[in-house]
A and B are shown apart, each in its own frame.
Chain A
Amino acid sequence: MTMEEALVEGYVFDAKHSESIDKINKILLQYGLTPNQSKVYLHLTKAGEKTASELSKNLKIPRTETYHLLNSLEQKGIIYSIFGKPSRFNSIPINEAMNILIDNEKKRVEDLESKKKTIVSLWETLPEFHSEKTVLPENRFQSLQGRNSILVKIEQMTKTATKSIHVLGTEANFIKFYHTDFVDYLKNTKSELEIVTTFSEKGNYVFEGIDLENIKKLDDNHQDNFSFIIKDESEVLFFVNNLDTEFSAMWTDSKSFVSTLESLFKMIWRKSKHILEKESAELDEKQYEHRLREIEQEKIILDYLHKNVLAKKRERN
């Protein structure tokens, strides 16, 4: 808050007070208040009870925003309203308000801690990959939560890949990345791209835009709802709890883990057929069947016509 603002707001400080207000303002931001929330709170603390209209006028903040600010400060517990027409607002004394803000921040950290427990428990559901206590450089693990974190990892993997990117999973697994840059990351990789996935009749829109040469059809009997992306046979991003709404994945460069999944991928890739091959074969078969039925129909009608024309000729003769 500048000296000029302080003057406008109805309480006059000299230059040294203005400096203190600026300091308090900055500190309050660290306690989770926005600049305007801090402004409103400080004004109420110094100027006393005010209506929303008065605050809006004094602080030159639009009235609608002033109501939002008052509402949020009330929810934080550092101001209160006095019922009346119009309602008036006042602040909790600053020492009490600071305690409330500290408690709020503590609760936020507690919330983060509880989420940490979820990640750890997820981790515990995964098998142990090595018994050595010392973590080797190639045995790193990262548990990723949230679509953005996972996308950042996919971007890193696809951009730095020099040899291959292997993707395996059903469309349902990857549908969560629809409308993101996921496909672009895959398309733009400079390494060899191989994808094994389901291919619905309506078209594989999840991997839309990727050359069909790079995609093979995952067997419809493939029931395991797992998916992973392997980079250069050295890193893997393995998706966990795919059916949950929460995005979770685990990245690792653990050799044993990566080589197991790479072998699995290669085996499935070998067994699977290219989308193009299968579609084309199916199409030929369908066209052949269709044409055969047409010919049979023509023959039936032709036989009838022959018989009838001959019969009529005989009648005439």
Chain B
Amino acid sequence: MIDDNEQITKMVSTFLSLNNHKCTIANHAQDGLEFMIKNEYDAVILDLTMPDMDGYDILEKINESDIRYKVIVLTASNISQENMEKIKQSETKIILQKPVDIDVLLEKISQVANL
């Protein structure tokens, strides 16, 4: 999970572990990108608005690279038409806007990650 909101990442991570899933946290986009390159994950939960490098930059870098991930965008921001086009061209499978119901979040993660 790549999100600069530490509270949310900790909570989602705990929530997922309660549901028998492992979650790696990255509170900085650059760290998240490095994890994605070095490791393998069933899915990536990605926030869009982050300082320095944002979620759109990550999606663009994934597109430019050989790595392929099933991405779930989880954001509190409104997405402009222009940015929506960027997302459509990426590996993003689902876009969820915060606040999202916890059951829906779990369902979507399971669905995207084929769990």
Contacts and interface: CB of A to CB of B under 8 A. Distances in A.
Contact of B11 (A290, A296, A305): A305
Interface residues on A, range: 10 to 19
A301 B97 contact: no
Contacts, number: 46
A300 interface: yes
B60 to A, nearest CB: 18
Contact of A293 (B11, B15, B99, B101): B99
Interface in B41-62: 49
A305 B18 CA distance: 9
Interface string A291-302: 101101111111
A235 B99 CA distance: 57
A301 B8 contact: yes
Nearest to A309: B18
Contact of A298 (B8, B77, B80): B8
B76 A297 contact: yes
B98 interface: yes
Interface in B92-106: 97-102
Contact of B14 (A297, A298, A299, A305): A305
Contacts of A286: 77-78
B111 interface: no
B12 A290 contact: no
Given A293-B98, A293-B99, A308-B18, A298 B11 contact: yes
Interface of B: 5, 7-8, 11-12, 14-15, 18, 49, 76-78, 80, 97-102
